[in-house]
Chain A
C-alpha cells in the first residue's frame, strides 16, 4: 500500500496549508523589526538614484596603468578592467571545466552501479560527494590559503567542484543506459575496460558532452563570484569597488556580467541541442530558446 493512497485528497491540501503556515511562523520569528523591512523600498529608491544610477561605464575604458598599447585604437577597451576580468573568468571556467571533465570520467565510470561491484561504486561516490559537499566559493577560500591570490586558486577550486558535480551527473547518465549492450559485452567476454571505452562511453556520449557544456556555463556564472575571495576573475574588481563604495561602477560590472551570462547561456543551449537524443531532429532556433514553447 502506497503512502499516497492512505491519505485522501483534502488532507493533502490541509498538510500543504499547515506547512505554509509553519514557514510563516518561522519567518516571523527571525525578523525582530518589521519596521526596517517596510522602509526597504524607500531606501532602495534613494540608493538607486543617488549612487547606483547611472552606471559608470568608465570600467570599459583602458586603465591608467599599465599604459595601453593595443592598436588599432578602437580596440583599446581590451585594456579595461571589465574586459581583463571577464576574459580571466572565462579562461578559469574553460580550463577548470576541461580538467574537471577529464578527471570526472574515470571516477564516474567507477561510481556507476551497473558497471561495478557496490564497494567500488560506493567508494567512488564517497569521493565525488566529498568534492561536491563544499560550494566552489568555499573551495576558492581554501585554495587561496594554500596557493595564494590569483587565478591558480580559482582553477583549482573550480576543478575540484566540477569533478564532484559533473561526476554525479555523469554516473547518473551512465546508470540510465540500457542494460542489454552490457549483457552482450559480458557474454562476448569483453573486459571491463573495453566495455567502458567502446560501449558505455559511445552510448552515453551525448549526455556526457551536453553535461560538460552545461558545466562550463555553470562554472562561468560561479567564476564571477570567486574573485570576491581573491581567486581571480571579474569578481576581484567588483569586490574592490564595493569596498570603495563606488556602486555606479559595480552596477556597470553587474550589467556586463548579465549580458555575458545571457550570451554564454545561449551558446550553451545551442551547443547542447546538437547532442540531445535524436540528433536527426531539426535544431533549436533563436525563437524556440527565448520564447516559451507554447508561443512557438
Chain B
C-alpha cells in the first residue's frame, strides 16, 4: 500500500475479518474497521456475542478465521513492538501472590525498559543505562498507582484487594506502560460512580495527551456513548458501526 506522508495511519485496521474459536461457528463478522490515534472507540453488545473474543483476536491471542488484522503496523503472528500494546483482559491477569507494585512494574518495564542482555552484567555502561531506565519505569509505575488512587495498597498482595481495586491495578499496569494502543475489556465494571469518573478521567487524559488509541468493551450502553467518540454495536453476529452519537468529547478536532 502506498504511504502518503501527511496521511495519518490507523493504529488498528481490520478488513473482512471473521472471528471465532471454531471455523465452522464464526461469531462475528467485521467488514471494515479503522481506529486512529487519539480516538476512543467503544464496543457494546449482548453478553456472549463475542466481544471479548474480538479483543483477544485483535491483541493477537487468537487466530482470526479469515481476513487481515493490522495492529501497530504488524499483521497476525507478528507481535507489535514491546510495550506498544496495552491490554486489560476481562479476567485482569494479575499475579495474585505478588504486590500491586510488582504487577504495575510489569507494564512499566514493558514500556520503558528492556531486559539487560546477559553480557551486560560485565559492561558498566550497559548496566548503568539499564539502572536508569529501571528508575524511570519505577517512577511511571508509582505515578500510575497514585493516579488510580491505590497509593495505600502499593505493597499489598493482589489477593487481598477487592474486585474493583484489582481492576484498577490492571488499569494502572497499562497506564504505566504508556502504550500507543489500549485494549480494555470491561475495565469499569465493579467500580462505583465516583471511581468510574476518576478512572475514566485518567485514561481519557492519557489517550488525548499522548495521542494513543483506546478500544474498549463496555456493556453499559449509556456509559459507552458517554465515553466514546464512536460506538460499535455487535448485533446478530455482525459489527454495526452506524450508531455514532456526537459526544462532548468529540468536540475536539
Name A residues whose Cβ lies closer than 8 Å to a Cβ of B: 178, 180-191, 193-194, 198-199, 202-203, 205-206, 278, 280
Contacts and interface: CB of A to CB of B under 8 A. Distances in A.
A178 to B, nearest CB: 7
Contact of A186 (B61, B109, B160, B170): B61
Given A191-B115, A194-B109, A180 B91 contact: yes
Interface string B95-111: 11110001001110111
B86 A188 contact: yes
A203 B96 contact: yes
Contact of B98 (A194, A202, A280): A202
Q: Which of B79, B97, B98, B105 gathers the greatest number of chain A CB atoms within 10 Å?
A: B97
A199 B106 contact: yes
A187 B60 contact: yes
B97 A180 contact: no
B107 A188 contact: yes
Contact of B81 (A183, A189, A206): A189
Q: Nearest 7 A-B pairs (CB), nearest first?
A: A189-B82, A184-B93, A180-B93, A187-B87, A188-B110, A180-B91, A181-B93
B97 A188 contact: no
B94 interface: yes
Given A181-B93, A184-B93, A194-B109, A189 B61 contact: no
B70 interface: no
B95 A181 contact: yes
Contacts of B159: 278
B164 interface: no
Interface size class of B (residues with CB under 8 A): 35 or more
B61 A190 contact: no
A189 B110 contact: yes
A198 B105 CA distance: 10
B89 interface: yes
B165 interface: no
A184 B88 CA distance: 7
B177 interface: yes
Contacts of A186: 60-61, 79
A280 B160 contact: yes
A193 B160 contact: no
Q: Which of A181, A187, A190, A191 gathers the greatest number of chain B CB atoms within 10 Å?
A: A187
A202 B106 CA distance: 13
A203 B97 contact: yes
A91 B166 CA distance: 44
Given A180-B93, A198-B95, A198-B102, 10 more contacts: A180-B89, A182-B93, A183-B56, A188-B86, A189-B81, A189-B83, A189-B85, A194-B109, A205-B97, A278-B159
Nearest to B179: A188
Contacts of B102: 198, 202
A198 B106 contact: yes
Contacts of B85: 187-189
B115 A187 contact: no
B27 interface: no
Given A190-B106, A202-B95, A202-B97, A184 B87 contact: yes
Q: Which of B61, B84, B177 gathers the greatest number of chain A CB atoms within 10 Å?
A: B61
B217 interface: no
A206 B98 CA distance: 11
A188 B160 contact: no
Interface in B147-166: 159-160
B2 to A, nearest CB: 29
B97 A190 contact: no
B37 interface: no
